[in-house]
């Protein structure tokens, strides 16, 4: 069984900074792509940042230059550094990983439980 646990959410002022973490544990053979998604009331969950197993990153246009995604493969962890947040960044942030479980050969998407980020002065 595989579990993803997120941490680091909370209240942040505009112009501040925050770092989210998501750690995977369990019977993990390997982890492929990792990503962070954001969901706000009335909207679909959207991808804000992703990172491949080789470290290539991509960002949603509104967060480019302000957010930074990174990963620590030794710790099975993905991070999202949020700099100069704006009120529009408020939402529940979910991590997702493509994980190959020991004894299987195909990756399956696993999600974290979500962590609330609120940007407000």
Q: How many CB atoms lie within 10 A of CB 55?
A: 10
**What is the rounded CA–CA span in Å between residue 115 and residue 29?**
26
pLDDT in tens, the chain (121 residues): 899 999 999 999 998 999 999 999 999 999 999 999 999 988 999 999 999 999 999 999 999 999 999 999 999 999 999 999 999 999 999 999 999 999 999 999 999 999 999 999 9
- Are β-strands 46-51 and 108-111 bridged in parallel, bridged antiparallel, or unpaired? unpaired
Instruction: Kindly state the tokens that stand for 86.
Output: 């704006």
pLDDT (0 to 100) of residue 38: 98
pLDDT (0 to 100) of residue 41: 85
pLDDT (0 to 100) of residue 1: 87
């Amino acid at each position: 069984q595989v579990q993803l646990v997120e941490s680091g959410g909370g209240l942040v002022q505009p112009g501040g900074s925050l770092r989210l973490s998501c750690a995977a544990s369990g019977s993990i053979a390997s982890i492929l792509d990792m990503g962070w998604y954001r969901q706000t009331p009335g909207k679909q969950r959207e991808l804000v940042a992703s990172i491949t197993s080789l470290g290539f990153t991509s960002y949603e246009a509104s967060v480019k230059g302000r957010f930074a995604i990174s990963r620590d493969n030794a710790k099975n962890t993905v991070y999202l550094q949020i700099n100069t947040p704006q009120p529009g960044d408020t939402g529940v942030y979910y991590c997702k990983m493509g994980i190959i479980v020991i004894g299987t050969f195909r990756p399956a998407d696993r999600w974290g439980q979500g962590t609330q980020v609120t940007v407000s002065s």
